[in-house]
A and B are shown apart, each in its own frame.
Chain A
Amino acid sequence: GQNIDQPTEMTATEGAIVQINCTYQTSGFNGLFWYQQHAGEAPTFLSYNVLDGLEEKGRFSSFLSRSKGYSYLLLKELQMKDSASYLCAALDSNYQLIWGAGTKLIIKP
C-alpha cells in the first residue's frame, strides 16, 4: 500500500532550527509537497520537490532523496508564528496526492 510517515508532534525553541522528516512509499513518484496549516486555518503551500537535493526559500528549506523515499523540511530562525501543523504529501504515478497525517510543531519562547 501507499504510505506517508511523519512525526506526530515536535517541540522547538524560538530562534532555533528544526527539521521535520517525512518518509514515503508510493506506487511511482512524481514529486513531494509540504504544506503549512495553522490551527483552524487552511493549509498553504510551502514547497514542491521532484529532483534530489535541497531547495531553499527564505527561512524554509526542503530536501528530497528519491532513492531513500525521504524528505525533510528545515525551518531556521524559528518564530512563534511557525507554530502550526506541517503536512507532507507525495504524488504517485497516477498523479494522486498521498497525504501524511501532519506534524504539529510547537514553538516555545
Chain B
Amino acid sequence: ETGVTQTPRHLVMGMTNKKSLKCEQHLGHNAMYWYKQSAKKPLELMFVYSLEERVENNSVPSRFSPECPNSSHLFLHLHTLQPEDSALYLCASSQDVTGVDEQYFGPGTRLTVT
C-alpha cells in the first residue's frame, strides 16, 4: 500500500451505533489530520496530530473521538451521531504540522447517519 488509505470507504450507521474510521499513512509523515467535507462547503479541520500528540481540536462535538496510537495510524471513533454528521470524512498527512507542507489525502469515508 502506498500513500494514505482509509477504511471503510462507505459507512451507514444509526444514531445509536458506535463505529470507528481508520486511516493509515505509508509516507513516514509526522502529522495527521481529520477533515469533514460536506457538499458545497469548505473543508472543516477537525483534529490535528503531530507525532501522536493532538495539537488541534476545532471545537468538535464529543461524539467524535480521535485516537492516534502511532505516527502511521489515526482513528476516528463515532458514537450517537446526528443526521447532520453525514459527510465525507477525509484523513490527510504531511511531513510536519508547520502548514507549509503539502497534505496527502486519503480517499475518504462516505458516512451516512440514519
Contacts and interface: CB of A to CB of B under 8 A. Distances in A.
Give the most central of B42, B100, B103: most A CB within 10 Å: B42
B45 A97 contact: yes
A33 B103 CA distance: 10
- Please classify the interface of chain A as helix (H, G, I), strand (E, B), loop, or mixed, using the class held by over half of its residues: loop
B43 interface: yes
A8 B40 contact: yes
Interface of B: 4, 40-43, 45, 56, 90, 97-100, 102-108
B62 to A, nearest CB: 22
Contacts of B100: 30-31, 48, 50, 91, 95
B102 A45 contact: yes
A42 B42 contact: no
Contacts of A96: 45, 56, 99
Interface of A: 4, 8, 30-31, 33, 40-45, 48, 50, 87, 89, 91, 95-102
Contacts of A98: 42
A37 to B, nearest CB: 8
A21 B103 CA distance: 21
A44 B42 contact: no
Given A101-B40, A101-B41, A45 B98 contact: no
Given A30-B100, A96-B45, A97-B99, A42 B107 contact: yes
Which 9 residue pairs are nearest across A and B when measured between Cβ atoms?
A: A95-B99, A42-B105, A45-B102, A99-B42, A99-B43, A43-B105, A42-B107, A101-B42, A91-B99
